Structure 1
Amino acid sequence: MPQIVVLPHAEYCPDGAVIEAPSGTSICEALLENDIEIEHACEMSCACTTCHVIVREGGDSLNESDELEDDLLDRAWGLCPQSRLSCQAIIAQKDLVIEIPKYSINHAKENH
């Protein structure tokens, strides 16, 4: 089962984490299933950018982004060439290293 190394994030994963996730799972689903409560304001329907992650290693093994994801990513804070929406990035067989950006465009978080 592929591993995902989550780099430290002050709010969601202060110490970082190493988790395992089955192939065919989105990065967002894997994070949520491992108690890393990444934002996903549109409930993983590819309609916002709050689940934006930067895939530091292993990104070439993920499914290709489509035009809708690419268009949405243009609005993400901290966009870079390795950016993906975690709800759309499907894990294959390769291990990943991801970074959750410090900010998102979500102005109103629930439970905060």
Structure 2
Amino acid sequence: MTKITFLPHEEICPEGKTVEALPGQSILEVALEHDIHIEHACEMSCACTTCHVIVRKGYDSLIPPEEREEDLLDRAWGLEPESRLSCQSIIEAEDLEIEIPKYTINHVSEKG
């Protein structure tokens, strides 16, 4: 089993959470299975950027992104070199540390 640590996010996962996942699953599938509700407006079809995450540890262990994902990531808010769409990020054997950005291109929280 692969360990995935989701770093604290003010609204989605305030305490952070560490879960176990099977290789072959996407980061988004694992998050949703463990009640971490990452937004995914296109229902995991690689057609938007709402499930954008930053892979803080283990990035190179993921199956590399395809061109479509890379094109979409160019439009993501807060893009970093380790950014991925969580619906397209397939887990292998290495443990991961995931940051969920504060904003998405589809929804901006305006809480004070």
The equivalent of 1:44 in structure 2 is 44
Q: Which AA in structure 2 matches 1:19?
A: V
Q: Which AA in structure 2 matches 1:25?
A: Q
Distance 1:107 1:6, change over 3 A: closer
- Cα offsets for 1:7-49 (capped at 9, x unmatched): 0000110000001110000000000000000000000000000
Aligned CA RMSD, in angstroms, stands at 1.3
Structure 2 portions without partners, runs of 5+: none
What is the rounded CA distance, in whole Å, between the counterparts of 1:107 and 1:88 in structure 2? Answer: 20
Q: Secondary structure at the residue paired with 1:55? A: strand
Identity percentage of aligned residues: 68
- Residue correspondences, number: 109
The equivalent of 2:30 in structure 1 is 30
**Which residues in structure 2 correspond to 1:13-92 (within 5 Å)?**
13-92=13-92
What is the rounded CA distance, in whole Å, between the counterparts of 2:57 and 2:28 in structure 1? Answer: 16
The equivalent of 1:98 in structure 2 is 98
The equivalent of 1:5 in structure 2 is 5
TM-score (ref. length: structure 2): 0.95
Q: Which AA in structure 2 matches 1:17?
A: K
What is the rounded CA distance, in whole Å, between the counterparts of 1:104 and 1:19 in structure 2? Answer: 23
What is the rounded CA distance, in whole Å, between the counterparts of 1:86 and 1:79 in structure 2? Answer: 13
Q: Which AA in structure 1 matches 2:47?
A: A
Q: Secondary structure at the residue paired with 1:64? A: coil
Deviation of the 1:78 alpha carbon:
0.3
- Cα offsets for 1:57-106 (capped at 9, x unmatched): 00110000011000000000000000000000000000000000000011
Q: Which AA in structure 2 matches 1:58?
A: G
Q: Which AA in structure 2 matches 1:68?
A: R
Deviation of the 1:107 alpha carbon:
3.7
